[in-house]
């Protein structure tokens, strides 16, 4: 697969792990290769929200993504020597979905003490697309200040906020809308939701 088709996806301990899982599925279906990062808290949320068996992490990924799993490279969060920790390793962008406030803070402060924060730091220093999907409510001033700081550095902030103009009928519709907005921001074609002005079936 062409090296320009590689994306990094991070899943953290914020509620909404299904967003990250669906994003990985959409990228794989579009023919891209995914470098997957899951924080320790992210694994806990996958267990609590999606019933993933997390004691054997590689097996859990293979079970979740089936025949597409060979197009995923999973990196343990503490592997700071991984390929994606270096700016010389080319990827088209990184999405952290969902992003906890702890991870958001670490990135905003440049605290690259694990692979998630380091990979995000690489995106910024190499001027590559970085999208953060924060999932927290309510937000206090520190959360907002960290988002503003990153936004001023060119990071795209896409909060996990559903829309209803396309008349979603299922929870999947709502999940797909947010994943679609992320793909739009990465300029990746998809058919995950009905756009404004298009016919609603």
pLDDT digit string (tens) for 32-43? Answer: 999 999 999 999
Q: Are residues 25 and 65 in contact, defined by beta-carbon separation less than 8 angstroms?
A: yes
Pick the CATH number of 3-159 from 3.40.50.1950, 2.40.37.10, 3.50.50.60, 3.40.50.620: 3.40.50.1950
Mean pLDDT, the chain, as a whole number? 94
In the chain, where the domains are located: 3-159
| 115 alpha carbon, distance to own chain's centre | 14
Extract the tokens encoding 4. 């320009």
> Is the predicted pLDDT of residue 2 greater than 60, yes or no?
no
Phi, psi of 177 (to 5 degrees): -60, -50
pTM of the model: 0.94
Residue reference for tokens 């924080």: 39
Render pLDDT for 115-160 as a digit per residue (tens, 0 to 9).
999 999 999 999 999 999 999 999 999 999 999 999 999 999 999 9
Extract the tokens encoding 25. 């599925």
Please give the average per-residue pLDDT across 8-16, as a whole number.
97
DSSP strands (E only) in 40-195: 72-75, 93-99, 130-134, 156-157
Short-list 166, 159, 190, 10, CA closest to 93: 10
Please give the average per-residue pLDDT across 19-45, as a whole number.
97
> Is the predicted pLDDT of residue 200 greater than 80, yes or no?
no
């Amino acid at each position: 697969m062409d090296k320009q088709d590689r994306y990094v996806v991070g899943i953290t301990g914020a509620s909404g792990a299904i967003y990250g899982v669906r994003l990985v599925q959409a990228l794989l279906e579009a023919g891209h290769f995914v470098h997957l990062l899951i924080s320790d808290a992210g694994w806990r949320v996958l267990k609590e929200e999606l019933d993933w068996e997390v004691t054997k992490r590689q097996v859990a990924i293979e079970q979740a993504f089936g025949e597409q799993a060979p197009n995923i490279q999973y990196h343990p969060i503490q592997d700071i020597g991984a390929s994606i920790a270096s700016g010389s390793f080319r990827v088209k962008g990184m999405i952290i979905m969902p992003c906890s406030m702890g991870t958001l803070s670490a990135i905003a402060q440049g605290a690259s003490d694990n692979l998630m924060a380091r990979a995000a730091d690489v995106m910024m220093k190499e001027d590559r697309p970085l999208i953060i999907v924060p999932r927290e409510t309510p937000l206090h001033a520190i959360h907002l200040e960290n988002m503003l700081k990153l936004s001023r550095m060119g990071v795209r902030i896409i909060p996990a906020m559903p829309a209803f103009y396309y008349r979603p009928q299922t929870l999947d519709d709502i999940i797909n809308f947010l994943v679609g907005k992320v793909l739009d921001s990465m300029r990746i074609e998809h058919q995950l939701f009905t756009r404004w002005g298009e016919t609603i079936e």
